[in-house]
Amino acid sequence: MTRLTRELVQAVHPGPVDDQGEAVELATPQELAESLRACQRSRPAGGPVWVFAYGSLMWKPEVPVVEKRRAVLHGWHRRFCLWQWRHRATRERPNLMLGLDRGGCCQGMVLRLPARGVASLLERLWQREMIGRGYHARWVRAATPAGPVTALAFVVRREGLRYAGRLPDEQVADYMARACGYAGSAAEYLLNTWEMAEAHGLSDRYLRRMQALVAARLRGMREV
């Protein structure tokens, strides 16, 4: 199996690409505040706040985490199904990023946030995950080795303009191999997610297949 490596990614995408931050309209502060309040109102009473991580939150949560557990979420699966035109892409070279879509199951991690200052930590997560209008936030029940926990999950917003649906894996890999933005390349994002899943023993044939497809395309681009 062809493997994605940092050397291969660096050979094709040696640096970031500046998009001037104008590639997509972002949620307003009022939108973010309203959706956060709605999510907090719907939160089941009691207990710590857990967040279900299945992509970059696994390797770059950007908020303090006091406990991590492997977890399985039923009824949702991870898929590159959300259009991205900035961050790790541009309008000229779009990318598809991970979202939780309906059906199946997803092996990921749950992250427990500290109780002190949790409101401000959720605001930081909202600024990161909800700013692009690609997700809905909802409370889900995830299974862990120490028992089930209620966790916050960011699931794909199917009615939104960014939802791409179920594109063929080969087509998704074409987009991902070419895409790069101010935060780096789409291939690097895939590699980080794949490596984290492997390090924690998370079984995901889809990630394994996607990293091989993107690696093959990067090799072809390097050899041209």
Q: Answer whether residue 184 is part of any domain.
A: yes
Q: What local confidence, expressed as pLDDT, does residue 107 receive?
A: 96
Report whether pLDDT(1) > 80.
no
**CA separation for the pair 152, 122 (Å, rounded):** 10
Question: What tens digit of pLDDT does each residue of 147-203 get?
Answer: 999 999 999 999 999 999 999 999 999 999 999 999 999 999 999 999 999 999 998
Question: What tens digit of pLDDT does each residue of 95-105 get?
Answer: 999 999 999 99
CB within 8 A of 180, min separation 6: which ones? 13, 16, 17, 88, 89, 90, 93, 186
Task: Note the helical H segments in the chain.
Answer: 6-12, 29-42, 56-59, 118-129, 169-178, 186-199, 205-223
Region 112-124: mean pLDDT is 94
Q: Answer whether residue 102 is part of any domain.
A: yes
> Quick one: tokens of 52?
């279900």
Q: Answer whether residue 68 is part of any domain.
A: yes
Q: Answer whether residue 178 is part of any domain.
A: yes
- Its domain, for residue 207, covers 6-218
- Which pLDDT band holds residue 222 (cuts at 50, 70, 90)? confident
How many domains, the chain? Answer: 1
Q: Answer whether residue 223 is part of any domain.
A: no
Q: Answer whether residue 224 is part of any domain.
A: no
The residues annotated with a catalytic role in the active site are: 129
Report whether pLDDT(18) > 90.
no
Q: Answer whether residue 76 is part of any domain.
A: yes
Q: Answer whether residue 107 is part of any domain.
A: yes
**CA separation for the pair 133, 13 (Å, rounded):** 27
Question: What tens digit of pLDDT does each residue of 33-88 get?
Answer: 999 999 999 998 778 999 999 999 999 998 999 999 999 999 999 999 999 998 89
CATH of the domain at 59: 3.10.490.10
Task: Note the helical H segments in 76-185.
Answer: 118-129, 169-178
